[in-house]
Structure 1
């Protein structure tokens, strides 16, 4: 029994020493640390993007009355950035800002139309700054700008599909 008691005492002493050694080793091997700081920077520049929706005048027969439709542009500019939006004359042969045209596939027949800055369709939208463009200031989000279109009464060309591609430009 005495041997058993001695064995238990030896085990207890070894366990205590191991525990003290572990605690002591934590203190003896404590890590040293140092810190550094760094700056995070970004420069936001004046910038804009523009997107356009199609303007579809639909289908009709004889052009005996005005056909009015609306579309929209979306301009997104950095907050505080002044911008101007211009529209060109379009891609159909003979188009001008004052008299835009949609042409058929053969390019030998046309339908006149125009694009306006106001719902009354009195202010033609063109590409001369401070004259016939639309100005705004970016607010950091998308800003919708309406485009008012009109096909006026005119001699009706041959039946078919007529189109033009307008380029919208944002200048900032």
Structure 2
């Protein structure tokens, strides 16, 4: 007759012998499935701009130059045009722009914005006075060349206009 202790040893030996087979037998067959991971990229652009500060001047006897940057990022191969509106200065229209004084001061300061040094004025009419380019997926920096031309000096004050840059794509 087998003692309880011997029975437990035999049972443990039998379990140890068959456990490796039962474990791998449960995973002997496999099935697989595939699935797609997709994304659609559409033509898109972003735009950001920095301001132009012409500093300070008294009598405007010589042209004053300044620059600004417009950063555009467009999807690769996306054609675009960047336009600048006339701004918020009273009397501004098309590419003729003015800076206004503050408060009751009705004086203005003429300002010109160019697409390149010595080129035509930068406006907002696509194909005429905008700046064209093609996106490459990275940020592209466009320079706005500004000039305060010689003119009658206005009343001492701070002068300002807000220009809106628009990207068409």
Length-normalised TM-score, structure 2: 0.89
How far apart, in 2, do the equivalents of 1:154 and 1:81 lie? Answer: 41
How far apart, in 2, do the equivalents of 1:27 and 1:55 lie? Answer: 74
Equivalent residue number for residue 109 of structure 1: 107
Runs of 5+ consecutive residues of structure 1 not aligned to the other structure: 1-5
Q: How does 1:23-172 map to 2 (within 5 A)?
A: 23-27=20-24, 29-30=26-27, 32-106=29-103, 108-120=106-118, 122-172=119-169
Query: Per-residue deviation at 1:36?
Result: 1.4
How far apart, in 1, do the equivalents of 2:33 and 2:72 lie? Answer: 42
The alignment partner of 1:161 has SS state of coil
Query: Per-residue deviation at 1:156?
Result: 0.8
The alignment partner of 2:146 has SS state of strand
How far apart, in 2, do the equivalents of 1:78 and 1:30 lie? Answer: 48
Cα displacement string for residues 121-157 of structure 1 (whole angstroms, at most 9, x for unaligned residues): x410001111111000111111111100000111111
How far apart, in 2, do the equivalents of 1:143 and 1:72 lie? Answer: 10
Query: Per-residue deviation at 1:35?
Result: 2.1
CA distance 1:86–1:35, change in 2 (3 Å): same
How far apart, in 2, do the equivalents of 1:24 and 1:124 lie? Answer: 84
How far apart, in 1, do the equivalents of 2:74 and 2:84 lie? Answer: 18
Length-normalised TM-score, structure 1: 0.87
CA distance 1:26–1:101, change in 2 (3 Å): same
How far apart, in 1, do the equivalents of 2:12 and 2:36 lie? Answer: 51
How far apart, in 2, do the equivalents of 1:71 and 1:23 lie? Answer: 74
Mean alpha-carbon deviation: is it higher for 17-26 or for 52-61? 17-26
The answer to whether the 8 Å contact 1:97/1:125 transfers is: no
CA distance 1:30–1:130, change in 2 (3 Å): closer
How far apart, in 2, do the equivalents of 1:17 and 1:153 lie? Answer: 105
